[in-house]
Structure 1
Amino acid sequence: MMKRVSWMFSLALACGGGSGETTTDTGTGTSTSTDATATDATGSDTTTTTGTTDAPTSTAPTSTADPTTGEPPTTGTTTTTTDPTGTGTTGAVDPPPMSLADIVDGELALIADGHMFTEGPIWSPEGYLLYSDIPANTIFRWAEGEQPTAFITPSGNSNGLAFDAMGRLLAGEHGGRRISRRTIGDPDAETVVGEFEGQSLNSPNDLTIRSDGTIYFTDPPYGIQPNQQELDFQGVFRVDPQGQVSLVADDFDRPNGIVLSPDESLLYVADTNGEHVRVFTVEPDGNAVGGDVFVDLQSDLPGNPDGMAVDAFGDLYVSGGGGVRVVTPDATVLGTIEVPEQVTNCKFGDPDGKALFITAQARVYRIRLKVAGA
């Protein structure tokens, strides 16, 4: 098998920079983004106050979607298929990507702006994107050709989102300090888990769901004040299909993004303050064991490892370090999809699964790819 080579594919926009601080004029106000040393949900010890429930009013989200694709140089064999977004064609990669040129198939496009702090993007089976605005206490909905709109308010200051096999929406809630689940359209959500061994969870952050219904989630303290913390650790947890909660690991500093490999045999967890991603082996019964460092992602660029996604080849897409870093299953870093502000999370979407949606402070971006999500 050919060895993949590391190559930086630059997608920096004119407003990008390496200082970690970006000031953006949204047209209705000024939004300032800071690096991980000053932003609670991306790796610092600053906490998010969850008492604020007012949705943003002076900076209403606007859509400036431009999914026009570009054609960077490619290596290996590609085939051409119709782009379901109506923007032309997209190259479909047959062998595993060897470089970012084998992955990226378009330009970074801004699809939403004017938010407070975006997180948790997830593509709905119904054909639209949902994402959280944590301080605004709202889950927003975006669809092709439409403006972003408030979809669920209040959201429990939701962060990570996921759909289960029944199409129900699960959320890691900072304000609710729980994993919640709701049927779309229902006004209320039920609590899947809100405590461990009689103590309240910290502030569930991100989650991933195995095909049998097992839920894995991270529980850092970003959404609470120090005096509110009952558990004396920041853990990674598992909820089995029967609803039983068990601890996967309690030795994380700030567990954050979490995702399963395509075959569900591996569980990846980002430790934001550790600036690395750890990997666990998932046993047939769903128990996850191990936890060695999979890849070290220390960087001087804005953002430490945060939310993650995985493609059909098992490549990891890790937020932080100047954008989204792409890491192969053998821990080779292919390069960085650069974003002009600090990234918080990313997930695959679009009807064919070949777009990466990226949340970044007050904004949401999309970039078309040649590979599909797992």
Structure 2
Amino acid sequence: MNNKIYLSTLLSLSLGLTSTAQVVAPGAELQLISDQFSFTEGPAVSAEGSVYFTDQPNNRIWKYDTDGGLSVFLEPAGRANGLYFDNEGYLIACADEKNELWRISMDKNIEKLVVNFEDSLFNGPNDVWVSPTGVIYFTDPYYQREYWTRTSPDMKRQALYGYKNGEVARLDGEFRKPNGIIGTPDGKNLYVADIGDNKIYRYSIRQDGTVYGKQLFAQQGSDGMTIDEAGNVYLTGKGVDVYSSTGEKIKHIDVPANWTANVCFGGPDRDFLFITAGNKIFLLKMAVKGIK
């Protein structure tokens, strides 16, 4: 092998880079699974590879199992939006009907983890990620909902929060409108989208779960986000955009919908990209895998 090519390959591996040809499996095309929904959001993968996602206008959480079956998991579902599985197999849900964060067991028992912050209602928990240490990070933007009686927020700040062991803390309140969130599998870094300011930020995470070193990662907003085994970050909005771990845009995936809300990796081997887009859900075979 040419020495320059060899050194370039080593550098790419060390930085977690991958070529565009390596992201999507060769010859793979989007597969429409269903278009029976109103607005799909919040996909989260379970330990066995099934994907749970929300249809917020219809107040349901759905399950897409590893055999391709679709079924309603929970209804009503607190107008759940973003979802993520915690380390014990419970489904964490941003239930913004009453501006709460829920913990849902697989036998559908619901525990309300947080219902307010310093005696004020949350704006509406939107998206969530659980770190390997068990800290639950979630964003809290204000989107006026037709099912609310209130017409303005209790809090002036739209912020990033962390929750663990019954305690919730505001970690960063300097956003226009925070939305998508994802972290690295080693629990060392956190990505948060400020969709209102068209930016993605990356933080370092301390051992106590607090964050520091906020840096601009990409000059692009995002609704939901995910990450693959190579450290590439997937952003949503007008289709799916893939950025390397160094902040280089390496791939755009067209999605035939007005809005692509969220993504996650699913399947037993985490090698399918599950995409929620308006009234539709799609699958795309990938050359990279998500994190188990």
TM-score, scaled to structure 1: 0.70
State whether residues 236 and 263 of structure 2, in contact with CA within 8 Å, keep that contact through their aligned partners in structure 1. yes
Task: Please give the alpha-carbon distance, in whole angstroms, between the structure 1 residues aligned to 2:205 and 2:132.
Answer: 13
Aligned with 1:120: secondary structure? strand
Q: Of 227, 252, 260, which residue of structure 2 is paired with 1:343?
A: 260
Q: Distance in 2 between matches of 1:277 and 1:305?
A: 7
Find the counterpart in structure 2 of residue 192 from structure 1.
113
Spell out, residue by residue over 1:85-130, the C-alpha distance to the aligned partner (whole angstroms, 9 max, x if none): xxxxxxxx99955322111012111112120000001122234221
Gapped regions of structure 1 (runs ≥ 5): 5-75, 77-92, 298-303
Query: How far apart in 1 are the matches of 2:8 and 2:198?
Result: 28
Give the corresponding residue for 2:166: 243
State whether structure 2 residue 249 is matched by structure 1 residue 325.
Answer: no
**SS at the partner of 1:262?**
coil
Aligned equivalents of 1:147, 1:180: Cα separation in 2: 25
Cα shift at 1:139: 0.4
Amino acid at match of 1:102: Q
TM-score (structure 2 length as normaliser)? 0.89
For residue 123 of structure 1, the aligned residue among 45, 48, 52 is: 45
Contact 2:123 2:140 in 1 (8 A): yes
Match of 1:305 among 215, 218, 222: 222
The alpha carbon displacement at 1:291 in A equals 2.5
Alignment of 1:204 onto 2:121: no
Higher percent of residues as helix = 2
SS in structure 1 opposite 2:245? Answer: coil
Equivalent residue for 2:280?
A: 363
Cα RMSD of the aligned pairs, angstroms, is 2.1
Counterpart Cα distance in 2 of 1:133 and 1:335 = 28
Aligned-residue offset at 1:265:
1.1
Equivalent residue letter for 1:101: A
1:247 deviates by 0.7
Are residue 113 (structure 1) and residue 35 (structure 2) matched? Answer: yes
What is the alpha-carbon distance in structure 2 between the residues aligned to residue 270 and residue 316 of structure 1?
11
Which residues in structure 2 correspond to 1:171-320 (within 5 Å)? 171-186=93-108, 188-224=109-145, 227-240=151-164, 242-297=165-220, 304-320=221-237
- Are the aligned partners of 1:156 and 1:176 in contact in 2 as well (CA < 8 Å)? yes
Amino acid at match of 1:318: L
* CA 329–368 in structure 1, closer or farther in 2 if over 3 Å, else same: same
**Structure 1 Cα separation of the partners of residues 183 and 15 of structure 2:** 21
Q: Whole-Å Cα distance in 1 between the matches of residues 14 and 287 of structure 2?
A: 10
Counterpart of 2:191 in structure 1: which amino acid? Y
Rounded to whole Å, the distance in 1 between the matches of 2:186 and 2:86 is 17
Count of residues paired in the alignment: 278
Equivalent residue, structure 1, for 2:80 = 158
Deviations 1:7-35 (A, max 9, x none): xxxxxxxxxxxxxxxxxxxxxxxxxxxxx
Q: Which residue of 1 aligns with 2:19?
A: 99
Consecutive unaligned residues of structure 2, counting only runs of 5 or more, are: 1-6
Q: Which has the higher strand share?
A: 2
Cα distance in structure 2, aligned partners of 1:127 and 1:305: 24
Partner deviation per Cα, 1:192-224 (whole Å, 9 max, x = no partner): 111111111111000000112100000011254
The letter for the 2-side match of 1:157 is R
Partner of 1:140: 62
Q: Aligned AA for 1:166?
A: E
Distance apart, 1:142 and its partner CA: 1.5
Alpha-carbon distance in 1 for matches of 2:54, 2:281: 10
